[in-house]
Structure 1
Amino acid sequence: MTHWLWRAADEYGAVLDGLLQTQRDTGATKSFLIRLLGKYTAPEAIHTDQLRSYSAPIRELLVLCPVEHQEGAYTARCNNLVK
């Protein structure tokens, strides 16, 4: 069975949190973002790869609505960054 590693890193590349999940969809993204928001304040910006499941949870979570979301064509296994 395939598992996906979700990681959040700060602007310096230090890993804030990680989670192993069997799914890589909107629900998995939302649960990981909620987990992060339980530990940290809302970031100024979120930088992600182009996985489509990031956009919907970021729009749905009211605390993340004003946060700048930048999608980039990053190479495989590149850290997604949160400032």
Structure 2
Amino acid sequence: LDEMVCKIGGRRMYLWRAVDDEGEVLDVIVQHRRDAEAALKLIKRLLHNQPVEPESITTDGLASYGAALDQLELRHLHRPGRLRDNNRVENSHLPIRRRERQQQRFKSQASAQRFLTTHAAIYNTFNIQRHLISRSTLRRFRVDADTAWAAATA
């Protein structure tokens, strides 16, 4: 779990993201606040939408995560990130930053939420961990992703 700051319509907003251990984006929420209530909303939504219970929850150093996990009685799963522990989610911010610059910032919270949710689904379809599979399997996965994309856009 991590959050990043972005400007939307001249206001400071926080993009809260949850990424699994394989780099797949699980959920994205855009909010005005960066407090325990906002973290609680993300974690509740995440736990509700995922079919399995998490083995551990790695976050950055923000204290809001600890407070939210205390309310849900999941503190025993919390691993506050130290140096490099949270790199997977930090690196998943990079494509979002590039798109944000190209679009010259997002215009509203609703449009940012729509774009980021769609971007996460597309990113998850085409992002394949190349170092974990053979070249022939990678080709097959890419063909499957292209087929899924063609079906979704037809």
Q: Which has the greater radius of gyration?
A: 2
| Secondary structure of the structure 2 residue equivalent to 1:6 | strand
Q: Which has the higher contact order (CA 8 A, sep 6+)?
A: 1
8 Å contact kept, 1:21–1:28: yes
1:42 deviates by: 2.5
The root-mean-square deviation of aligned C-alpha atoms, in Å, is: 2.0
Q: TM-score with structure 2 length normalisation?
A: 0.45
**Would you say how many aligned residue pairs link Structure 1 and Structure 2?**
77
CA distance in 1, matches of 2:29, 2:47: 14
Q: TM-score with structure 1 length normalisation?
A: 0.80
8 Å contact kept, 1:49–1:74: no
For structure 2, which runs of at least 5 residues remain unmatched after alignment? 1-10, 91-154
Higher-strand-fraction structure: 1
For structure 1, which runs of at least 5 residues remain unmatched after alignment? none
> After TM superposition, where is structure 1 displaced by more than 4 Å over at least 4 residues in a row?
none
| Secondary structure of the structure 2 residue equivalent to 1:18 | strand
Higher-helix-fraction structure: 2
8 Å contact kept, 2:47–2:53: yes
**1:19-54 deviation digits (Å, cap 9, x = unpaired):** 000101000000111111110133010111100101
